[in-house]
Structure 1
């Protein structure tokens, strides 16, 4: 098949949001399909066209007060300000895609990307359109403007008009699938959990440990996630288990980096910074335990939980929320759970984990059938 992928987030940008579209593209290529990608930047080994975005990576500074221009952009650009990038990507896709696609794939967030899917399906007669939904649109919106009842009502109507012609929807979990079912009544729906690469060779940490690892961002991944509960729990755990080491790999906001420096446990915390995917997987594979943090109002844990489980290492939830029940909700406080970690000596047992080569075979077979 010939498949056109449009994604606002894609490597070499480093984020969980960039990882899944990249694995979609690579997996579909490895399944024998011809794939062309439109994204803000392009990675070697992927056929596509870069459409630059002024904010490819999120700014790490603490956000300042909104300007009149910011408010105007939020008010006038629907469903989100990234619709401007989507329009440029749409024009490039029409002009430079080297084939008429059998399938157009748009992956959100941002939800404005789906406007390109609708337009391109109309542009190429006979092409079909698939959506990959990584987050809720309106049920748990990250954009504060979508908290308004009026905005939600109007935007739900917009979503139904935008997605009415979609042929297939893949969602990372059932609640997101069920929300998109309301917007795309003519599509075939599938739950495709966050899929992961096979575990890498374990990272060799210095010192006896135990070594605790968290990969990915906090507030930059979800504006309702804070690093503070993890720092507080680790400080208390260190009193009980002085040899503990905490490793943080990923982009931090400036105030989060400062919070680490101000922590009484800073000498036992190592910041690895932004690392390639293979390094992140290696850090996970070498950990004695892995830390997952989510927003208190999140119904599900973040997608990195699948990567964590693929290692077979213990996973410890930190923070409040119903999402903890879907991890390993152990008894005792967060600090007590961290302090109880021992050097890992077991073997990987990735029960229930979806690996990307298996997932992409499933997707490729589904698209061929449709």
Structure 2
């Protein structure tokens, strides 16, 4: 969406990514793990330990090196700006290298997750990594000109690695959809989009399934639509559920189809890790859909959604009725609006 927003604001873009849509100018650099395994993590072997020991800041540094060479070789112009978006954090090594290739360009780090404060990669919780990787982060980011982050917590962490860079919070943004999915009018349809442990290892599908199962005893018309990639053990959890007949698995779908499902839902479900202070980025899409949003599970992140508590989850799910019209929540910025604001900041501060 950054690219769409940049183009809408008149920028010429060239993108390096594992995959590219046909209407985006750039080069696709193959990544061997575009579709991650849905198996639960196995016990680490010797190869895993060597990878964690040798490939810093993460194993995607191997792809990052290929992406760097592809950008140098294929970009048809000298850029004014270089944007690198994490995760994975190794992509910022590309910006570090391209800054040397094009010294007149300014480099913007776009951070979507925390790096070390609440890392998703388990190896970053080891003492050695907690001690040395912040040093590496400061080395990689020492020449970046600006940091854009989706919330204050991420901005604060990145500021400690790149104190020389201008800092700006640019919250998640999304397109709006005008075509809601036509669900069965005889049922109450709850939608959750995205993964659970494949996105955040500290998020359990039980945060959603347990209250939903109890709520179906209150309201048998409830249907839960799960949209996105699930781990094999999460699928097994659903198949063993007493509410299995009321759960519909959609699998991975294109973004526009996902947003149509959100727009047609009677309520949208969101879960996050207990230790997280912020909800996942999908909350932005949910707000654009204009449907009621129900948080499930523990954690202070819930306050960004509403003032409910975990012990109210079953009752609130069971009380969902057919949605009529949009809620009165503030819609998030579109890519054009958000990128325009970011570009204005970069033009005056970076």
Tell whether the structures are fold-level matches, with TM greater than 0.5. Answer: yes
Of 144, 169, 191, which residue of structure 2 is paired with 1:213? 191
**Structure 2 residue 320 is matched with structure 1 residue 341:** yes
- Residue 334 of structure 2 corresponds to which residue in structure 1? 355
Report the CA distance between 1:58 and its aligned residue. 1.2
Report the CA distance between 1:140 and its aligned residue. 0.4
Report the CA distance between 1:308 and its aligned residue. 0.9
Instruction: Quote the Cα distance in structure 1 between the aligned partners of 2:135 and 2:104.
Output: 26
Q: Is the 8 A contact 1:200 1:281 kept in 2?
A: no
Report the CA distance between 1:340 and its aligned residue. 1.0
Report the CA distance between 1:365 and its aligned residue. 2.8
User: Over residues 235-273 of structure 1, what are the superposed CA-to-partner deviations in whole Å (9 max), with x where a residue is unaligned?
Assistant: 100001111111111111111111111110011111111
Report the CA distance between 1:284 and its aligned residue. 0.8
Report the CA distance between 1:354 and its aligned residue. 2.1
Q: Is the 8 A contact 1:204 1:286 kept in 2?
A: yes
**Structure 2 residue 78 is matched with structure 1 residue 100:** yes
Report the CA distance between 1:192 and its aligned residue. 0.6
Report the CA distance between 1:215 and its aligned residue. 0.7
Alignment partner of 2:135: what SS? Answer: helix
Report the CA distance between 1:348 and its aligned residue. 4.5
- Residue 151 of structure 2 corresponds to which residue in structure 1? 173
- Residue 23 of structure 2 corresponds to which residue in structure 1? 45
Q: Is the 8 A contact 1:311 1:349 kept in 2?
A: no
Which moves more between the two structures, 145-154 or 176-185?
145-154
Of 92, 96, 108, which residue of structure 2 is paired with 1:130? 108
Stretches of structure 1 that go unaligned for 5 or more consecutive residues are 1-22
Which moves more between the two structures, 115-124 or 357-366?
357-366
- Residue 3 of structure 2 corresponds to which residue in structure 1? 25
- Residue 10 of structure 1 corresponds to which residue in structure 2? none
**Structure 2 residue 338 is matched with structure 1 residue 364:** no
Of 237, 244, 256, which residue of structure 2 is paired with 1:278? 256
Instruction: Quote the Cα distance in structure 2 between the aligned partners of 1:194 and 1:67.
Output: 37
Report the CA distance between 1:346 and its aligned residue. 3.0
Alignment partner of 1:237: what SS? Answer: helix
- Residue 138 of structure 2 corresponds to which residue in structure 1? 160
- Residue 64 of structure 1 corresponds to which residue in structure 2? 42
1:231-250 superposed matches below 5 A = 231-250=209-228
TM-score by length of 1: 0.91
TM-score by length of 2: 0.96
Alignment partner of 1:220: what SS? Answer: coil
User: Over residues 5-50 of structure 1, what are the superposed CA-to-partner deviations in whole Å (9 max), with x where a residue is unaligned?
Assistant: xxxxxxxxxxxxxxxxxx0011111211110000112211000111
**Structure 2 residue 114 is matched with structure 1 residue 142:** no
Q: Is the 8 A contact 2:4 2:335 kept in 1?
A: no
Report the CA distance between 1:352 and its aligned residue. 5.5
Alignment partner of 2:330: what SS? Answer: coil
Which moves more between the two structures, 326-335 or 111-120?
326-335
Instruction: Quote the Cα distance in structure 2 between the aligned partners of 1:368 and 1:173.
Output: 21
Report the CA distance between 1:223 and its aligned residue. 1.1
Alignment partner of 1:255: what SS? Answer: helix
Stretches of structure 2 that go unaligned for 5 or more consecutive residues are none
User: Over residues 210-232 of structure 1, what are the superposed CA-to-partner deviations in whole Å (9 max), with x where a residue is unaligned?
Assistant: 21110111111111111112111
Alignment partner of 1:211: what SS? Answer: strand
Report the CA distance between 1:52 and its aligned residue. 0.3
Alignment partner of 1:328: what SS? Answer: coil
Alignment partner of 2:14: what SS? Answer: strand
Instruction: Quote the Cα distance in structure 1 between the aligned partners of 2:321 and 2:9.
Output: 41
Of 254, 258, 268, which residue of structure 1 is paired with 2:236? 258
1:301-312 superposed matches below 5 A = 301-312=279-290
User: Over residues 103-129 of structure 1, what are the superposed CA-to-partner deviations in whole Å (9 max), with x where a residue is unaligned?
Assistant: 110000111111110111111121110
Q: Is the 8 A contact 2:225 2:249 kept in 1?
A: yes
Instruction: Quote the Cα distance in structure 2 between the aligned partners of 1:312 and 1:45.
Output: 29
